[in-house]
Homo-oligomer: A and B are copies of this chain.
Amino acid sequence: MSKTALVTLGLVSVLSSSVFAEENKVPEPTANGIAFPVNYQDWDIVSVSHREDHKSVRAIIGNKIAVEAVEKGQTNPWPDGAALGKLVWKARHDEHWKPAVVPGEFIHAEFMFKDAEKWKDTAGWGWARWLGTEQKPFGKDAASAHSSCIACHTPVKNQDWVFTKPAILPKRIR
């Protein structure tokens, strides 16, 4: 192999590993101290929604503790350790089935982490949102990272601050 080829190969190798590192970089925590839930795309489906006012569609997902709580019907209150995520996309009409509203651009992923004691000043939940596919933390300081979440969720404070009623699903087979 020529010297040029070796140098080129070396450069490609350095570039590849830096791209790889970038792709695998964990997004920053939010200003209210919530770590990014790295594996959330492995969580299970809890519900879906289409907000006609906001022109967005959503998948609502839950971690293992949340899904077990759903199965036991123990969601008011949700148990400590439960985490719920909402993946939000701009709504668009499917090109092959016009009356179907489907996901367009990814807007954000937002989360509620239940810990009644740790988050006692914010309704028992840690609130967090990461914007866009680059997953930029929402909120410039601790207060702004959760205040708009709580304001919007106030109508459902009697159902432990969660809008989502878990979707009816067949019983899992274990």
How many chain A residues touch B (Cβ–Cβ < 8 Å)?
55
- Copies of this chain, whole number: 2
A59 within 8 A of B: yes
Residues of B within 8 A of A172 (CB): 41
Q: How far is the CB of A37 from chain B (nearest CB, A)?
A: 10
CB distance from A97 to the nearest CB of B (A): 6
Kindly supply a per-residue 1/0 record for chain A positions 90-122, scoring 1 wherever the CB is within 8 Å of any chain B CB and 0 otherwise.
000010110111111110010000000000000
In the complex, the answer to whether A167 meets B96 with C-beta atoms within 8 Å is: no
Which residues does chain B contribute within 8 Å of A168, judged by CB atoms? 89, 103-106, 133
Nearest to A102 among chain B residues (CB) is B49
Whether the Cβ atoms of B170 and A102 lie closer than 8 Å is no
A44: Cβ under 8 A from any B Cβ: yes
Residue in B23, B57, B156, B173 whose beta carbon sits within 8 Å of that of A26 in the complex: B173
A99 to B55, alpha carbons, bound, how many Å? 10
Interfacial residues, chain A to chain B (CB-CB below 8 A): 23-26, 38-39, 41-42, 44-45, 47-54, 57-59, 61, 87, 89, 94, 96-97, 99-106, 109, 130, 132-135, 155-156, 159, 163-165, 167-174
